[in-house]
Structure 1
Amino acid sequence: MTDYYEVLGVDHNASDDDIKKAYRKMSRKYHPDIAGPEFEDKFKEVNSAYEVLSDPQKRQMYDQGVDPNNPQASAGFGAGGFDMGDIFGSFFGQGFGGGSGQGPVPRTQPGRDSLASLNIDLRTAVFGGTEHVDIHTMALCPDCGGRGTAEGTQPVTCPDCQGRGFTQKVVRTLIGQMMTSAPCPRCEGHGTIIEKPCQGCAGHGRVRTKRTVGVSIPAGINNDTRLRLASQGEVGEGGGAAGDLYIDVRIRKDKTFVREGDDLHCWIEVPMSWAALGHAVRINTFDGERSLDIPAGSQYDDTLRLEGLGVTHLRSDGERGDIVAHLVVKIPTSLSEHERELIEQFADSHDDDDEHIEAVSSHNKPSGSKRGFFSKLKDALS
């Protein structure tokens, strides 16, 4: 027999409030919309456990060794060790061997969790900030404040069940007469009737609405992060406590930077003369314009760093990654005769004319020992 107390993570002597709190925690943890469809069976198990342990009658049966969800599979059912009168009394009420009938179902029920998505730009991920998301959810009825009744009225005791929430009747079976119980059809098991329901919510204590929620984005947040906003989800029936709101945060692509960890990578195109002679440039960053010095003799795809201008380290005291600038040396596609002569003169005096080139792996790139840049340029323009 499944240990429902273990499923909810509570002690066998847990109070009704402890069971309700544990159920809310576990249902949020394993809800398929939050944890994923693979947790659907676990979510059903949590609901089955709560269905039994939240009902005094079913909990009594379970503590006696009979699983109300599967009585035939329970250990000892119909065998020695249990009073059959007590067991049938648990099933059918006081009319058979004792056992208490189930109590009325509360009108106030906890609300469900909600899920929403939010797209942010890379700048917000770098520095953090507050974003807003619109959600459609159930909110407390503004007309009745969750009571479900019209102003100046209260629910009245159900005349059919006298407030017990269930009705009983005698049925004849092969082993004699037995008393059975079922939820009262008139009050739907609540024990009370709302004779004059609130017109705004039709007696439910909540209404569907659209509202805007502010979301605090932590600096350094990663893509596809799920944030939890406590008690910002759906209000329950009868104005019950709201569930939680979960926000899936996704970071839009930036037109300049690509994020790798907490570093921001960008590519800057520079003339070949700047790469050969060195030059100072200014680039736009999330902190404004910054100066970047290109050393003389820079090569294609060399990287330069601007330290401390990248993404804020998550859960740090403001420390940040770097900006990594990749150089793209721009080779002209056409030259004047004078320009060609100058480059050929430079190539003749600086480059090796040896046509033999050996292929090497990327981590063993030659550092100037092979054909020079201007020799390759001359060939590209030939």
Structure 2
Amino acid sequence: MVAEEDLYTTLGVERGASDSEIKRAYRKLAQQWHPDVNKEPEAQERFKEINEAYQVLSDPGRRQRYDTFGRAGLGGNGAGESDFGFGGFSDIFDAFFGGAQASAARRGRPQPGSDLRYDLRIGFEEAVAGTDKEIEFEVLGRCETCAGSGARPGSSPVTCNQCGGRGEVRSVRQTMLGQMVNVQACPRCLGEGKVVDDPCETCRGDGRTERKRALRVTIPAGIDEGHQIRLSSEGEVGPRGGPSGSLYVAVHVTPHPSLKRDGTELYHQAEISIVQAALGTRINVPTVEGDEEIEIKPGTQPDTEIRLRGRGVPHLRRSGARGDLHVLVDVVVPTKLSKRQRELLEAYAKEAGEETAPAGFFDKVRDVLG
């Protein structure tokens, strides 16, 4: 006698699995093993086992009896107590045809409008400090003639006579597993449940017309290249009174000539001479608020980093927090020296007891020629 597989094992879930976990596992397996999709010889039997397991575990009462008594608690029909229709066929339909979107298309309500994208370029300082921008774009808005209904003024959309206003049509076919119910958006009303028999002359029944739109967009301080700002309900209006989509403003930031950004941190490469490094000096460095004078201490070494705290980019999600500005010091060694400069450096080297290379032939010629 072959032992029957545990129903939880059939669905690949733990015994303490929640209802949503059981439904999710069932949808995944149903999509994988449905005979209309899977042509393997064992698919038919496997799909039947999956369906039977779900019929039990999705019913709180039957699941409790199974947990207590096993299959014996399910009566003579075992796990297959219910007829093999599909129980809740919408679960199978969602798994095959796109889940929530497919369900929404069958509810007999207006279709939503499309989302839009607007590419906006701003300056580096604007991205750091934040700003407001006026944008203008073309969009499908509600037709003013028919107020978005799509019907000629004085008339109204009527209930679709093909689906009776449900927005969906069903067909049933017999298979070796039982009846198969197919649910589709109504081809006449496109899932809306209503049709326009006397269309508006302005929008030709669509309920929308093209127009220019102006909006003021707030750019938050600290926004970066590639970030998007979503403005809900500012996209295209749906046909015949459908809800509006969203507008996504994609932000592009113009690079700064001498500041580099990494998240909330800013970096600047500052060049100083060997004399300035040795003796110290003060130099101007750029910040997003304008140039600022900083001190170079005597004896500053190459690649020294001077950090200006709180002079970087604001954190988008931490109010008041701000990154730092890192000044990376680059000590520039001269490649050409005048005769006087060389004499001074040689005198320094002699005083410090350091060995130096003698002047080359071309250096001497250059000194003679001035």
The two structures share one fold, judged by TM-score above 0.5: yes
* Aligned twin of 2:122: 120
Distance 1:181 1:254, change over 3 A: closer
Contact 1:145 1:205 in 2 (8 A): yes
Q: Which amino acid aligns with 1:270?
A: I
1:96-115 pair list within 5 angstroms:
106=108, 108-115=110-117
* Aligned twin of 1:287: 289
Structure 1 residues 324-333 or 207-216, which shifts more?
A: 207-216
Contact 1:129 1:219 in 2 (8 A): yes
**Aligned residue among 266, 272, 275 for 1:273:** 275
* Aligned twin of 2:318: 316
Distance in 1, matches of 2:301 and 2:193, equals 83
Contact 2:110 2:192 in 1 (8 A): no
Q: Which amino acid aligns with 1:140?
A: R
Distance in 1, matches of 2:298 and 2:84, equals 95
**Secondary structure at the counterpart of residue 216 of structure 2:** strand
* Aligned twin of 1:340: 342
Q: Which amino acid aligns with 2:281?
A: H
Q: How far off is 1:229 after superposition?
A: 1.9
Q: Which amino acid aligns with 1:266?
A: H
Q: Which runs of 5+ in 2 are unaligned?
A: 1-10, 12-18, 32-46, 56-79, 89-105, 172-181, 365-370
Q: How far off is 1:350 after superposition?
A: 1.9
Distance 1:315 1:161, change over 3 A: closer
**Secondary structure at the counterpart of residue 301 of structure 1:** coil
Q: How far off is 1:137 after superposition?
A: 4.1
**Aligned residue among 147, 150, 173 for 2:152:** 150
Q: Which amino acid aligns with 2:307?
A: R
Q: How far off is 1:341 after superposition?
A: 0.9
Q: Which amino acid aligns with 1:325?
A: V
Correspondence 1:196 to 2:198: yes
* Aligned twin of 1:228: 230
1:23-38 pair list within 5 angstroms:
none
Q: Which amino acid aligns with 2:296?
A: I
TM-score (norm 2): 0.58
1:15-30 pair list within 5 angstroms:
none
Distance in 2, matches of 1:157 and 1:268, equals 73
* Aligned twin of 1:38: none
**Secondary structure at the counterpart of residue 286 of structure 2:** strand
Distance in 2, matches of 1:328 and 1:347, equals 22
* Aligned twin of 2:82: 81
* Aligned twin of 2:16: none
Distance 1:286 1:378, change over 3 A: farther
Distance in 1, matches of 2:314 and 2:107, equals 51
Equivalences, count: 281
Q: How far off is 1:74 after superposition?
A: 5.6
Structure 1 residues 334-343 or 183-192, which shifts more?
A: 183-192
Structure 1 residues 131-140 or 232-241, which shifts more?
A: 131-140
Contact 1:132 1:212 in 2 (8 A): yes
Q: Which runs of 5+ in 1 are unaligned?
A: 11-40, 46-69, 88-103, 170-179, 354-374
**Secondary structure at the counterpart of residue 341 of structure 1:** helix
1:130-209 pair list within 5 angstroms:
130-133=132-135, 135-156=137-158, 192-209=194-211
Q: How far off is 1:302 after superposition?
A: 1.7
CA deviations on 1:10-68 (whole Å, 9 max, x unpaired) are 9xxxxxxxxxxxxxxxxxxxxxxxxxxxxxx99xx9xxxxxxxxxxxxxxxxxxxxxxx
Distance in 1, matches of 2:255 and 2:185, equals 56
Structure 1 residues 272-281 or 312-321, which shifts more?
A: 312-321
Distance 1:323 1:243, change over 3 A: same
Distance in 2, matches of 1:166 and 1:280, equals 77
* Aligned twin of 1:307: 309
CA deviations on 1:345-367 (whole Å, 9 max, x unpaired) are 011112533xxxxxxxxxxxxxx
Q: Which amino acid aligns with 1:201?
A: C
* Aligned twin of 2:60: none
CA deviations on 1:218-242 (whole Å, 9 max, x unpaired) are 2223443333222222321212111
Contact 1:107 1:238 in 2 (8 A): no
**Aligned residue among 209, 216, 219 for 2:218:** 216
Distance in 1, matches of 2:192 and 2:291, equals 67
Q: How far off is 1:268 after superposition?
A: 1.8
CA deviations on 1:280-318 (whole Å, 9 max, x unpaired) are 122332112211111112222222233322111333343
**Secondary structure at the counterpart of residue 200 of structure 2:** coil
Q: How far off is 1:106 after superposition?
A: 4.0
CA deviations on 1:184-207 (whole Å, 9 max, x unpaired) are 877667665434322232111123
CA deviations on 1:253-272 (whole Å, 9 max, x unpaired) are 22111113322111122233
RMSD: 4.8
Distance 1:108 1:186, change over 3 A: closer
Distance in 1, matches of 2:185 and 2:276, equals 85
Identity between Structure 1 and Structure 2 (%): 34
**Secondary structure at the counterpart of residue 288 of structure 1:** coil
Distance 1:345 1:164, change over 3 A: closer
* Aligned twin of 2:246: 244
